[in-house]
Chains A and B, each alone.
Chain A
Amino acid sequence: MDISIQYKTSVPIVSHVKPDGTAWTLKEKLWLGMPFQDYKRLALKNPVNWVLLAIFAVGIPLLLMRYLGGLDTVTNSSDDYPWGVFLGFGLFGMVPLSASGFLLGTTVEIFDRRDFLPIERLALLNGLLGYFFAVVYLLIDVGMPWRIYYPMIISLGPAAVLFLVAWHVATYLSVQIAEVSSAFFEWIGWLKAKRFIKAITLGLTIAGIILSTLHQGALGALFNYAPTKVHPLWFSASYNWIHFFCSAIFAGLSMVIVSSTICKHFLRWRCDTRFLGSVDDLTIKLGKGCAYAMITYLVIKMIGVAHDNDWAYLFTGWGQYFLLELGVGVFLPMLLFAFGVKHRSANLVRFAAFNAVLGIIWNRLNVALICFNWRMYQEIPRWQELWITLTILAVYFVVYRFILYRLPILYQWQGQR
């Protein structure tokens, strides 16, 4: 919706002060400076919202069924495949796509690459929301979601990999909230709090690197518990965690490219010239990072095969599927990244990024579902399970959009910062 045309004078809000000199109230900021009636009218005119409504109309009753009737009302409730699409996509897929926060945080705050500043906040927000919704998926999948804090205080199992994941995701979520909060503090005008966050930014960023290295890897190490269940080509006791961590690097970077592309096209009214002026250049720079991470990943994937001497499997049907995944999901986007960077084509890099995002989701679904129990039968998820997954993804989209409309993520706050 292109509000800027209709409300040229005052919208979008970029500072505390209206054009006539008085201050915006919080309520006005929430409705984007429009009367509520206008806000509602614009929202209803947007076809995307109708698609979302259709998803919710089916998804919310399904969610109620899950919570009132039990997991077996919406999933296959399989004892052989205890983890389904909720975790296969929602946790194992969303978390690598959310590595963007720590990657851009490191680039800007640690390596002092100020040129990435215009996209840093988008990467941080993308990270925060990705993690948050991974936890939401977890709350749908675990049997007793009301006990989700148990590993924190009630009963500790510190020798388990999942314990590490739980603690690190929880801590990292707090770190990311702090990192993104400076945009919020600017927006509500609480500069003191923003200064405080700025003072501890370096610490937060380093904490982010530590926590990310460990839990991205730990998600891979979770499958170390199933040496006889995951297909040998997708399993390497020594390399699982490195594969997961390394692929999270290009997954996170690609996701920022995807997100910034969507913003550039559909949220142009919200972007300022600083963002729009630099996004093509930054896309190419990020694409370069992706290409490097991908060649590293391909090499260690091959080392993983060599280390366990799994070459013979490459000549089976599973091997062809493995090569297909690496070829279409990693090798192809890597070439596109390299080509796009060399010829300075931001759009080619964007295409490669979409490809890489799908590739990494495919990989995580392979490890968690498709190549799991490879000597048994293949579990096919129920449509209800897929619809709930889609519903949460839609909520993620709504929240993401809500924040981008308002907070200074794609634009710089005018006035005191």
Chain B
Amino acid sequence: MINRRHFMKGGLAASTIGALGLSKKSEAADFAGYPDSMGVLVDLSRCIGCRSCEAACNSEQQLPPPEKPFNDFSVFEELRHGQKRRPDENTYTVVNSYDPPALDHPLFRKIQCNHCLEPACLTSCFVNAYTKTPEGAVIYNPDVCVGCRNCMIACPFYIPAFRYSSAFQPRIMKCVFCHDTRLREGKPPACVESCPVEALTFGRRTDLLAMGKQRIRQNPESYVNHIYGEHEAGGTAWMYLSPAPFEQAGFDTTVPNEPILNYVKDFLSFVPMVLMIWPALFAGFHLLAKRKNDNTSAATQDNEE
């Protein structure tokens, strides 16, 4: 038969172990984004697919030299597993070419980290390797990263890439908005500066939104009435204007309008309940089951006597 002392001891052990798992402080719960953060507006109707931004990024971020030079436009035809190019461990940004049926010319789209206001990579990281800076960049700290690649699962834009080729210095590779070398000093990222046709506009995100809406208002027939990134994934610092429906330019239009974090909040809010209720509930079950069994065996003994 269980005695009080053993029961208390057991309960204490349970609470200690339970408390070790207590960890549910959600710092990102009310995060509404930094008010003065910067962003970039990409106007697909202006982009000519010259790949200057790719070259500028490569040299600014000291990435390995590309397989094909940046003035080789055959890369637009490259397909891997039927997919167009994407940022990888050697490339932070790529430009792809699309052929929307309603247009008589190809449409070029630059892909890089969109620097979400509430980044999925950041909220899924169990070692806090990601930081959203007040300037608007989502940066990554390779010194604490364990290489679990949950951020790659979480990113709805398929941006973070992993340096699989290294056994001893693997890390996530992704666009950092030139945070350390430029953004922090208020300068635009290298790709924006290199753009010869002002397809990329750098500025405060709020100003860029107003600018984008103005362009749509002034030329309603030249644009789809939507700024991709205003709301997608809870809003992103990099936003896009397009003359053709966004899905025809390779955008995923099923990305939800709320931060990815919202999808795990239900589960996370369930955690404290389990931690509080389970010990009492199951200790109660135990006492009831024990008591019933003890009573039954006592009754049997009585009958035998």
Which of B54-62, B94-102, B285-293 participates in binding chain A? B285-293
A226 & B20 in contact (Cβ 8 Å cutoff): no
Stretch at the interface among A124-132, A206-214, A321-329: A206-214
Check B153 against A225 for contact (C-beta < 8 Å): yes
A401 to chain B, nearest CB (A): 30
Task: Please state if A213 and B278 are interface contacts (CB–CB under 8 Å).
Answer: yes
In the complex with contacts A142-B148, A228-B252, A202-B10 CB distance below 8 A: yes
Instruction: Say whether B158 contacts A227, CB under 8 Å.
Output: no
Could you say which residues of chain B place their CB within 8 Å of the CB of A199? 6, 9-10
Q: Are A155 and B127 in contact (CB under 8 A)?
A: yes
Task: Find out whether the CB atom of B264 lies under 8 angstroms from the CB atom of A161.
Answer: yes
CB distance from A337 to the nearest CB of B (A): 24
Contact status of A150 and B144, CB under 8 A, knowing A82-B152, A226-B154: yes
Is the Cβ of B7 less than 8 Å from the Cβ of A202? Answer: yes
Among A143, A155, A160, A377, contact of B147 (Cβ-Cβ < 8 Å):
A143
A3 to chain B, nearest CB (A): 39
Contact partner, A151, options B126, B163, B167, B256, Cβ 8 Å: B126
B21: contacting residue among A72, A77, A113, A167, CB under 8 A: A167
User: In the complex, A206 Cα to B21 Cα: how many Å?
Assistant: 13
Return the CB mask of A356-384 against B: 1 if under 8 Å, else 0. Answer: 00000000000000000000110000000
Known: A157-B127, A221-B267. A210 touches B150 (CB 8 A): no
The residues in B between 153 and 168 inclusive whose CB is less than 8 angstroms from any CB of A are: 153-154, 156, 158, 160-167
Contact (A377, B83) CB under 8 Å given A158-B23, A202-B286:
yes
- Decide yes or no: A167 and B20 within 8 Å by CB, A70-B166, A79-B88, A203-B10 being known contacts: yes
Contacts of B21 in A (CB 8 A): 164, 167-168, 171, 210-211, 214
Complex interface residues of chain B between 1 and 35 (CB less than 8 A to chain A): 2, 6-7, 9-14, 17-18, 20-21, 23-29
Contact residues in B for A376 (Cβ distance below 8 Å): 81, 83
Identify A203's interface contact among B12, B25, B127, CB under 8 A: B12
Question: Which of A112, A159, A171, A175 makes the CB contact (< 8 A) with B25?
Answer: A159
B-side contacts of A150, CB under 8 Å:
127, 144, 146
CA distance A160 to B125 in the complex (A): 6
List the B side residues contacting A144 at CB < 8 Å.
145-147, 170
Residues of chain B within 8 A of A224, CB atoms compared:
263-264, 267
8 A Cβ contacts from A210-246 to B: 210-211, 213-214, 217-218, 221-229, 237-238, 240-241
State how many angstroms separate the Cβ of A352 from the closest Cβ of chain B: 28
Task: Tell me if A210 and B120 are in contact (CB < 8 A).
Answer: no
Task: Say whether, besides A71-B170, A72-B164, A162 and B13 are in contact (CB < 8 Å).
Answer: no
Query: B171 in the interface, Cβ–Cβ < 8 Å?
Result: yes
- Contact, CB under 8 Å: A82 / B17: no
Does A201 belong to the interface (CB within 8 Å)? Answer: yes
| Stretch with Cβ within 8 A of B (4 or more), from A103-111, A184-192, A404-412 | A103-111
Chain A residues 134 to 156 lying within 8 A of chain B, measured CB to CB, are 141-145, 147-148, 150-151, 154-156
* Residue pair B282, A106 in contact (C-beta under 8 Å): yes
Q: Cβ of B222 < 8 Å from any Cβ of A?
A: no
Q: Report the nearest B residue to A70, measured CB to CB.
A: B167
Return B156 CB to nearest CB of chain A, in Å. 5
B266 at interface, CB cutoff 8 A = yes
- The reply to whether B150 and A222 form a contact with Cβ atoms under 8 Å apart is yes
- Return B188 CB to nearest CB of chain A, in Å: 27
Residue A20, interface by CB 8 Å = no
User: Is the pair B263, A237 in contact by a Cβ cutoff of 8 Å?
Assistant: yes
Task: Judge whether B63 is part of the interface by a CB distance below 8 angstroms.
Answer: no
A66 neighbours in B (Cβ, 8 Å): 167
**A167's contact among B23, B148, B283, by CB below 8 Å, is which?**
B23
Contact A72 B150 (CB under 8 A): no
Complex interface bits, B30-62 against A, C-beta within 8 A gives 1, otherwise 0? 000000000000000000000000000000000
Complex-state Cα separation, A160 to B148, whole angstroms: 12
Max chain A C-beta neighbours (<10 A), residue from B11, B17, B266: B17
Contact indicator B278/A209 (Cβ below 8 Å)? yes
Q: Is the CB of A159 within 8 A of B26?
A: yes
Contacts of B261 in A (CB 8 A): 159
List, in ascending order, chain B residues with CB within 8 A of A354's CB: none
A31 at the interface (CB under 8 A from B): no
In the complex, A75 Cα to B125 Cα: how many Å? 23
Q: How far is it, in angstroms, between the C-alpha of A277 and the C-alpha of B117 when the chains are bound? A: 63
Query: A143 touching B146 by the CB < 8 A rule?
Result: yes
CB within 8 Å for A225 and B13 given contacts A157-B127, A209-B278, A377-B83: no
Q: How far is the CB of A341 from chain B (nearest CB, A)?
A: 22
Q: For B153, B274, B290, which residue has the most chain A Cβ atoms within 10 angstroms? A: B153
Contact B275 A210 (CB under 8 A): yes
Q: How far is the CB of A248 from chain B (nearest CB, A)?
A: 15
Smallest CB separation, A310 vs chain B (Å): 14
Residue-wise, chain A 73-88 has the 8 Å CB interface mask toward B (1 for contact) of: 0010101101100000
Contacts of A161 in B (CB 8 A): 124, 264, 267-268
24 contacts across the A-B interface (CB closer than 8 A): A68-B167, A70-B164, A70-B170, A80-B83, A82-B162, A143-B171, A157-B126, A157-B129, A159-B29, A159-B268, A174-B17, A200-B10, A202-B14, A203-B9, A203-B10, A203-B11, A207-B17, A207-B18, A210-B18, A217-B267, A225-B260, A228-B156, A228-B255, A237-B263
In addition to A71-B167, A155-B128, 16 A-B residue pairs with Cβ atoms within 8 Å of each other are A68-B167, A69-B167, A82-B149, A106-B282, A110-B282, A142-B146, A147-B145, A148-B146, A159-B27, A162-B124, A200-B9, A210-B275, A224-B267, A227-B256, A228-B255, A237-B263
- Which 9 A-B pairs rank lowest in CB-CB distance, beginning with the nearest? A143-B147, A203-B13, A77-B164, A202-B10, A203-B10, A82-B149, A143-B170, A207-B17, A225-B154
- Chain A residues engaging chain B, CB cutoff 8 angstroms: 66-72, 75, 77, 79-80, 82-83, 106, 109-114, 141-145, 147-148, 150-151, 154-168, 171, 174-175, 199-207, 209-211, 213-214, 217-218, 221-229, 237-238, 240-241, 376-377
* B contacts, CB < 8 Å to A: 2, 6-7, 9-14, 17-18, 20-21, 23-29, 81-83, 86, 88-89, 120, 123-129, 144-150, 152-154, 156, 158, 160-167, 170-171, 252, 254-256, 260-261, 263-264, 266-268, 270-271, 274-275, 278-279, 282-283, 285-286, 289-290, 292-293
